[in-house]
Structure 1
């Protein structure tokens, strides 16, 4: 079924016992499904978008840093970087201070892909908040921030 990823969220809308965490989870999954689908339609395979976005903020990161920043597995990052390098999106260069360390850098072609991925995220964000007045978005952001703070505080205990 084409929209199988929407079946559970549609059912959640009918549940009287739904919790905020259930909505946050489904919204996040649907958002990322859309981003992955649009990225793939625009020639950016799954996993690349996370690496590209991290490198756009941390150009010259090491492979291990990319594993930690993207929450992808080490083998996934390794394979993706190999493919991205062969496609001319990134280069790997030895660190001049420590030749054992390899830095991953975006190429011009890679920066072009970043711009496309950013546009995909912007469109998905626009779809996410369509029809919601700014004052409601401000309240939602305040509530979501507080939820994140609560979870971080629990983790720090």
Structure 2
């Protein structure tokens, strides 16, 4: 039976995970959460004809249309050959088109098509549904703290390659 407050009403708080976690649990937990998030987002995007990773390309081009494949690859943190294959596939699907740069004909730039621009709303809706599922039962404050902490982790990892060090023995 649930504990009662001073006012005699039952405490309806959900049972919290009482597991003690350590720093060693961080990488596996974060990696698994990211995989699960990507899986759900990919499933949500299938209806619009998009595959994993393509949403990032479309959202980036929606902000800055007319980027090179190398620029896209750098911004999205993937290798150039991977981006070239992704662009080719998305071009075949009708989301993107490649055009020579007007100022430097040696460069080819990537642009969204009407279909690509039209898919932005579907991507935003799929991401929003995934976010709601991922943060079910989280308060707004917990979501803000989670995002702040994840951004801090990303900034720490982006700042420099962290050298491997043996943990100090206690």
Give the whole-Å Cα distance in 1 for the aligned partners of 2:152 and 2:90: 38
Question: Alpha-carbon deviations, 1:64-97, whole Å to 9, x = none?
Answer: 1112122333333223322322332212111111
Give the whole-Å Cα distance in 1 for the aligned partners of 2:114 and 2:21: 51
User: Which of the numbers 121, 137, 156 marks the counterpart of 1:115?
Assistant: 121
Q: Which has the larger radius of gyration?
A: 2
Which structure: greater helix fraction?
Answer: 1
Give the whole-Å Cα distance in 1 for the aligned partners of 2:114 and 2:151: 35
Q: What corresponds to 1:29 in structure 2?
A: 35
Give the TM-score, by structure 1 length. Answer: 0.76
Q: What corresponds to 2:93 in structure 1?
A: 87
Distance change (3 Å), C-alpha of 1:45 and 1:143: closer
**Could you say what secondary structure the match of 2:106 adopts?**
coil
1:97 corresponds to 2:99? no
Give the whole-Å Cα distance in 2 for the aligned partners of 1:136 and 1:145: 14
1:127 corresponds to 2:133? yes
Give the whole-Å Cα distance in 1 for the aligned partners of 2:91 and 2:146: 40
- Pairs aligned (count): 145
Give the whole-Å Cα distance in 2 for the aligned partners of 1:156 and 1:61: 30
Give the whole-Å Cα distance in 2 for the aligned partners of 1:29 and 1:149: 20
Matches within 5 A, 1:21-60: 21-60=27-66
Structure 2: segments with no counterpart, 5+ residues: 1-17, 164-170
User: Which of the numbers 52, 58, 71 marks the counterpart of 1:65?
Assistant: 71
Post-superposition offset of 1:156: 8.2
Q: CA RMSD in A?
A: 2.7
Structure 1 runs of 4+ with >4 Å offset: 13-18
Distance change (3 Å), C-alpha of 1:36 and 1:96: same
Contact 2:96-2:113 within 8 A present in 1 as well:
yes
Give the TM-score, by structure 2 length. Answer: 0.71
